[in-house]
Structure 1
């Protein structure tokens, strides 16, 4: 989406319609080693934020046309930019502006006349927080944890890892900031099951050879739920068994259904073979895996499959 290199420096977007303010802040931030972008009105700010995904936005509260509060509301309503911390710049005596700034989604504010050392300190703190959040989400994805935080009261997705976003889009094609109905129903049902000391069903959605499973990770607030998603895919599981144990396609399919607890007759029905043919495949599978029982084969296979589903 953008070619700016944030490994070299943090990116700061300054939004102000007064050239003197822009010049003062630009010079101070540039000298401190930040990459500085500027916008002189609301529309330009929205466009630049979406294109460049700055690490923090310094936003003037009062501007002609679209004011800073409306800019902030739009940034926070857009999933692509809602994670970016916004530091408002407001007049010293305008208390109602401070209240409005936080209501619009601001993370902090600095008062005019602007003092560059204070601005630099605030920016450093918010950039660090934002980076830690990004790293946490990236780490969750790296461990196969497709994680989504949902606020049940208004059906909003508070945040989600890229892997969770891809899964939700793949299964439900939903808008990025709104939780799909299926997930909200699952949360409600799982919440009831917990209250009644029953294990909640992990199945969220099934289609053809794929299933999307869900489990509670934690409750992050009074009405916010952290849900971990996991995809089970018959085809990818079979592929992983072929690769892990050097099985033929049909042997891997038989082993896959053994893991699912199916009998030789069940497997024959599923694959269009006789139970005798299935048992012949099982003999070859046992030999290749170095085991003697279906249970031992299933346990070995399950370990390999678990590493590929998620």
Structure 2
């Protein structure tokens, strides 16, 4: 894939209207940009297999797959999902604007297009995007395992080291998934609730996931200057003395064989590890939510854990191959 690290900024325009393409291409070319063109969503995705632009200017309404679906697919491509997408639209209704942001757009301009305004917006977004890319590059080079969270508690981006450790301890994600493993999301949601109740994030213990070859410690860090909340991951390997300490969070055993779960308890734990609620588990297994809750009480005692999230992470790590095959 061609990298756009030279001084001239590369903009990919995706629009099926020749007049718009000509007008925008002329304006961007005069302002010193390198302009690439695609006339529909599929050809834009094909171009992104070979180039990484600094910004994508995307028409919302096109034949074939529209701009919203095109943006959603772009954000599933790891090599270009960091590239800012600005929508061009004549749809100024709130629902369309909101939809653009939901699929990953960072801004929109309304038609009829005003070239000077578009050029100014593009310049501002590219400068911001390059600063973010530089920050990511520093983190990658330092081999930090960091997951940055959005305001909704979902990940916005993560370093490659974080992705490697998540897959090692929780299993491979579904193709195209940008979400955290279900069991980790359960734990994170609990921590965010505790934060809203006034607890200091710095005083909350980390989550500790244990495999035979080591442990993964996951800490929720509060927002600071220039960044939001984030997850910091640290892997510890070696003998028992080098692993968990008393002040660490719940440590999950690598094997369930000694826990003597009943088949029904194993079923409940399996679905808990997939992020299901008590009501979901009850519907799946054909029992009442109250019965599910009773099974969970027994599971917590047998596993030696105190929280739902600790049990969920254990179920997830075992299903990923980190210990007993009981849940597979």
- Aligned pairs for 1:142-153 (under 5 A) are 142-150=141-149
TM-score, with structure 2 as normaliser:
0.60
Task: Note the alpha carbon deviations across 1:203-228, whole angstroms, 9 max, x for none.
Answer: 432222222111122158xxx84110
Measure the CA separation in 2 of the matches of 1:34 and 1:62. 24
Count of residues in Structure 1 that have an aligned counterpart in Structure 2:
233
Is residue 10–residue 33 contact of structure 2 (8 Å, CA) maintained in 1?
yes
Measure the CA separation in 2 of the matches of 1:182 and 1:75. 27
Residue in structure 2 matched with residue 165 of structure 1 by the alignment: 163
The alpha-carbon deviation at position 127 of structure 1 amounts to 0.7
- Aligned pairs for 1:196-207 (under 5 A) are 199-207=203-211
The alpha-carbon deviation at position 81 of structure 1 amounts to 4.0
The alpha-carbon deviation at position 61 of structure 1 amounts to 2.3
Higher relative contact order (CA 8 A, sep 6+): 2
Measure the CA separation in 1 of the matches of 2:87 and 2:189. 38
For the aligned residue pairs, the C-alpha RMSD in angstroms reads 3.3
Question: Judging changes above 3 Å, is the alpha-carbon distance between structure 1 residues 257 and 33 closer, same or farther for their aligned structure 2 residues?
Answer: same
- Aligned pairs for 1:169-180 (under 5 A) are 169-172=167-170, 173-175=172-174, 176-180=177-181
TM-score, with structure 1 as normaliser:
0.63
Task: Note the alpha carbon deviations across 1:42-61, whole angstroms, 9 max, x for none.
Answer: 11122323542322111122
Unaligned residue ranges in structure 1 (runs of 5+):
235-255, 262-310
- Aligned pairs for 1:40-59 (under 5 A) are 40-59=39-58
Measure the CA separation in 1 of the matches of 2:23 and 2:107. 20
Q: Secondary structure of the equivalent of 1:57?
A: strand
Is residue 236–residue 243 contact of structure 2 (8 Å, CA) maintained in 1?
no
Q: Secondary structure of the equivalent of 1:104?
A: helix
Question: Judging changes above 3 Å, is the alpha-carbon distance between structure 1 residues 86 and 258 closer, same or farther for their aligned structure 2 residues?
Answer: closer
- Aligned pairs for 1:1-310 (under 5 A) are 2-91=1-90, 94-96=91-93, 99-105=95-101, 106-150=105-149, 156-172=154-170, 173-175=172-174, 176-188=177-189, 190=191, 199-219=203-223, 225-234=229-238
Question: Judging changes above 3 Å, is the alpha-carbon distance between structure 1 residues 193 and 200 closer, same or farther for their aligned structure 2 residues?
Answer: farther
Unaligned residue ranges in structure 2 (runs of 5+):
245-328
Q: Secondary structure of the equivalent of 2:133?
A: helix
Residue in structure 2 matched with residue 265 of structure 1 by the alignment: none
Residue in structure 1 matched with residue 311 of structure 2 by the alignment: none
Greater C-alpha Rg = 1
Bigger proportion of residues as helix: 1
Is residue 215–residue 243 contact of structure 2 (8 Å, CA) maintained in 1?
no
Question: Judging changes above 3 Å, is the alpha-carbon distance between structure 1 residues 7 and 162 closer, same or farther for their aligned structure 2 residues?
Answer: farther
Measure the CA separation in 2 of the matches of 1:25 and 1:260. 58
Is residue 12–residue 56 contact of structure 2 (8 Å, CA) maintained in 1?
yes
Residue in structure 2 matched with residue 307 of structure 1 by the alignment: none
Is residue 79–residue 177 contact of structure 1 (8 Å, CA) maintained in 2?
no
Is residue 193–residue 199 contact of structure 1 (8 Å, CA) maintained in 2?
no
Q: Secondary structure of the equivalent of 1:62?
A: coil
The alpha-carbon deviation at position 144 of structure 1 amounts to 4.1
Is residue 12–residue 57 contact of structure 1 (8 Å, CA) maintained in 2?
yes
Is residue 9–residue 54 contact of structure 2 (8 Å, CA) maintained in 1?
yes
Measure the CA separation in 2 of the matches of 1:64 and 1:260. 56
